[in-house]
Amino acid sequence: EEYFVESGGGLVQAGGSLRLSCQASGFSFGDLAIGWFRQAPGKEREGVTCYSSRDDKTNYKPFVEGRFTMSTDMSKSTVYLQMNNLKVEDTAVYYCAASPKFCGSYYYYQPNVEYWGQGIRVTVSE
């Protein structure tokens, strides 16, 4: 069975930091674009960041650029999302995701996502 396991969410005050982890099980994401989406309460799910090793490209959406950093540890089949200077508006359920497309607009098009994490809640308080 192929799936992701996410961890690291929780409650943090505005200005604080959290690190999310997402480990692949049953498959290797080395040839896939990997990244994160999020869904805030009452809103649609949106892309946050992605990386594809095939072209060594990383993309961050403007609302997280400079605050969030994604990294991968291929030896552990794990992708991380370091979130610094968190804002109340970052409150959401975060999903790791993998797509056979390259990082960019095709990755963020959700029907292209092949694997989804189960989602992990991040709550940022004032």
Element (H, E) at 64: none
Count of alpha carbons within 13 angstroms of residue 14, beta-carbon side: 6
Q: What is the pLDDT of residue 47?
A: 98
Question: What tens digit of pLDDT does each residue of 78-88 get?
Answer: 999 999 999 99
Question: What tens digit of pLDDT does each residue of 34-61 get?
Answer: 999 999 999 999 999 999 988 999 999 9
Q: What is the pLDDT of residue 90?
A: 98
Report the distance separating Cα 33 and Cα 27, nearest Å: 13
Assign 124 a pLDDT band (cuts: 50, 70, 90): very high
Question: What tens digit of pLDDT does each residue of 10-23 get?
Answer: 999 999 999 999 99
Most distant CA pair in the chain, distance: 40
